[in-house]
Homo-oligomer: A and B are copies of this chain.
Amino acid sequence: MIRRFLSKNKAVLGYGLSLAVLLFILKWLELRFVIYDHAMELYVGAIALMFTLLGIWLARKLTRPQKETIIVEKTVYPDSSLGFVPDETEIAHLGISKRELEVLELMAQGLSNEEIGNRLFVSLNTIKTHSSRIFEKLDVSRRTQAVEKAKRLRLIP
């Protein structure tokens, strides 16, 4: 009970004690200097100094620090091209195979069937077959349409 009271009012008790000590010092000073009437200025100066310091200490302890908030806006660009996540659900739903997706990506990069064939080390005819299957699955009839739709459906970046 008492301990909790002490801990909860620690600050208040601290101030009180400090004040008591100060008053004691003052009384002692008064006794020492009261004899010499001319020491009055010194006495007052000591008091002034002590209480000024007390004031500063109080101010620092009691006033919450004056904060000056600086708000800096930092623009953040989301994914866009760095972090592309293909819509696996849609790919699976359309039944597009891994190889077909590869062909689709190279198509989107503007490569011809022959170039794609060379890139993937297969014949031109193979790419043509893949293309046709892709067009079927995407329900289009031209590569440009396929690319447009694939991008729209987020199958490729």
How far apart are A107's CB and chain B's nearest CB, in angstroms?
A: 7
How far apart are A104's CB and chain B's nearest CB, in angstroms?
A: 11
A142 to B71, CA, bound (A): 49
A131 to B26, CA, bound (A): 100
The number of chain A residues touching the other chain, given as a range, is 35 or more
A60 near B63 with CB under 8 A, answer yes
A112 in the interface (beta carbon within 8 A): yes
B66 near A140 with CB under 8 A, answer no
A5 in the interface (beta carbon within 8 A): no
Quick one: which of A64-79 are within 8 Å of B by CB?
A: 65-78
A95 in the interface (beta carbon within 8 A): no
Residues on B with C-beta less than 8 A from A146 are 110
B76 near A75 with CB under 8 A, answer yes
Quick one: which of A25-67 are within 8 Å of B by CB?
A: 26, 30, 40, 44, 47-60, 63, 65-67
